[in-house]
Amino acid sequence: MSKRPKWLDNAVFYEIYPQSFKDTDGDGIGNINGITEKLPYIKELGCNAIWINPCFDSPFGDAGYDVADYYKVAPRYGTNDDIVRMFKEAHKVGIHVLLDLVPGHTSWDHPWFKESMKAEKNEYTDRYIWTDSIWEEPKGYGSLRGISDRDGSCVVNFFSHQPALNYGFYKPDRPWQQAMDAEGPMATRKAMLDVIRFWLSKGCDGFRVDMAGSLVKNDEDSKGTIALWQDVRSFLDKEFPNAAFVSEWGEPDKSLQGGFHMDFLLHFGPSNYNDLFRCEKPYFGGEGDASEFVKKYMESYEKSERKGLICIPSGNHDMERLAYYIKGDRLKLAFAFLLSMPGAPYIYYGDEIGMRYIEGLTSKEGGYNRTGARSPMQWDDSRNAGFSTADANKLYIPIDPDAMRPTAKAQMEDADSIRAEVKKLIAVRQSHKPLQNLGDIEFISDGAKGKPLAYIRSFENEKILVVINPSNDSQEISLKYKVSDIVYRFGKEPEIKGDSIKVNGGSALFAAIC
């Protein structure tokens, strides 16, 4: 594994969707100064790192994941000076900052793409992936066609307005498919290294990398993409050894081999993440089954040499809110799990207060069904829940209309709130190294239907047993260790015998064992 910044060992991240977090200038859209203003809130919760979704200049066809200028903060969020000030203020209170890097594609408004569309050859002709003829569509990929005088179809990622940058093909099988070491792909790689260097030099602490496993095409086993990121890793180790790199890949054995420090456990693909939080009967809703998740998790854990660097988020801007399927105190049990697993946990803004997924909203900036998970942060009971002083019809996305919507202010004043429990769990995690990011894990109950999740976290000579039972019924598990101390408990007190422990329904327990 690559060199790891020491601060990642106990990092607890807070994900910020900048346009919905805090508006300080009254235009209805959140901004960088709003993030700076709320750093004390994040610090008080216990998070010591933040991940900010894309904040670069963009036409916002995909909420900023369609970049028009990698070197410029979008004017609606502020200026480059504002974000540099935010970096400095975050560092003053012990918070590290990751920006969101989107290396796989740009907006079709990006100057690189405008130059690439020209019929005459120039330095950007091969910055994107084009077929040789307008009549040939790239098989297996979406494409843009008939948009310029240049002959050819251009490969796109995701939406049609996001042309794919050219990092080459691991196994070229058409004349227009360039090898990874061709001049065009190498120029693209250099351009992205320049972007990385620019922001790290400005004071950011690293990047979460969007679609990290998809850059090199015709790369079935990811060998080309791994090699590309190993090249980036060499650059970072030389120039920025303390920078953190976290991948959206979903295959930690590959991403860690490529030089990333951590990999996200994705809500799509084979992870079974949705079995826990987002399905008809999620495990933490009290009726589901976590066993397939545990099986796949441990498979990935072993493949990545038990590094403990698989990040599990409470949610993100691409899925329904955690509170959509899981209600009441069971949200606290979900956080007991999230904040006791290996790897850096990620809390999506507002999940710590149980913000709802807002149904029936008109799509905003490519959000579609995701729009309801991107509504403004609910700070207090003032105008627009304290998010903005703008008229309600000017807000980026409408505020949750429910008069009983949760707010940060109310929950900070309530010792029994979800936020209070999250704060307590973070503090417990930070007080015990086995519960932190590098602690080992061994499951002793896999959360099969009706059964608790139980696992032992260990680091050096300390071991902590975690038992979480979201079902309604009491459950008993056998122990080959002796409980020496209860370090955290939610729900009714468990019954501890010599060689077993009985936990009540709807409860969680962290116990030091020996």
The structural domains of the chain, with segments of one domain joined by +, span 8-102+356-405, 440-513
128-172 pLDDT per residue, tens: 999 999 999 999 999 999 999 999 999 999 999 999 999 999 999
Question: What pLDDT score does 265 carry?
Answer: 78
Please give the Cα distance from 216 to 193 (Å, whole number).
Answer: 16
Q: What is the pTM of this model?
A: 0.97
- Which amino acid type is present at position 491? G
CA-closest candidate to residue 158, choices 268, 14, 76, 277: 268
Residue 2 — pLDDT band, cuts 50, 70, 90? low
DSSP 78: -
User: pLDDT per residue over 163-217, tens digit each?
Assistant: 999 999 999 999 999 999 999 999 999 999 999 999 999 999 999 999 999 999 9
Tell how many helices (H) and how many strands (E) occur in the chain: 12, 20
Name the residue among 453, 492, 509 with its Cα closest to residue 282. 453
What are the Cα distances from residue 353, in Å, to 97, 107, 412? 22, 34, 9
Token reading at 34? 């709003």
3-state secondary structure of 486: strand
- pLDDT exceeds cutoff 70 at 343: yes
Question: pLDDT tens across 82-93, in order?
Answer: 999 999 999 999
Q: 8-102+356-405 with 440-513: one CATH topology?
A: no
The answer as to CATH 3.40.50.2300 being correct for domain 440-513 is: no
Question: Tell me, what's the pLDDT at 264?
Answer: 86
Look up tokens 């990751």; give the residue.
98
Mean pLDDT of 348-373: 98
Question: What is the share, in percent, of the chain residues with pLDDT greater than 90?
Answer: 94
* Confidence grade of residue 307 (pLDDT, cut at 50, 70, 90): confident
Q: Coil, helix or strand for 293?
A: helix
Instruction: Identify the burial level of 182 via C-beta atoms within 10 angstroms of its C-beta, where 0-12 means exposed, 13-18 middle and 19 or more buried.
Output: middle
pLDDT, residue 72, reads: 98
How far apart (Å, rounded) are the C-alpha atoms in residues 502 and 39?
A: 41
C-alpha distances in Å from residue 342, one per residue of 56, 205, 308, 443: 31, 21, 5, 12
| Average pLDDT over all residues of the chain | 96
Domain 8-102+356-405 listed as CATH 3.40.50.300: no
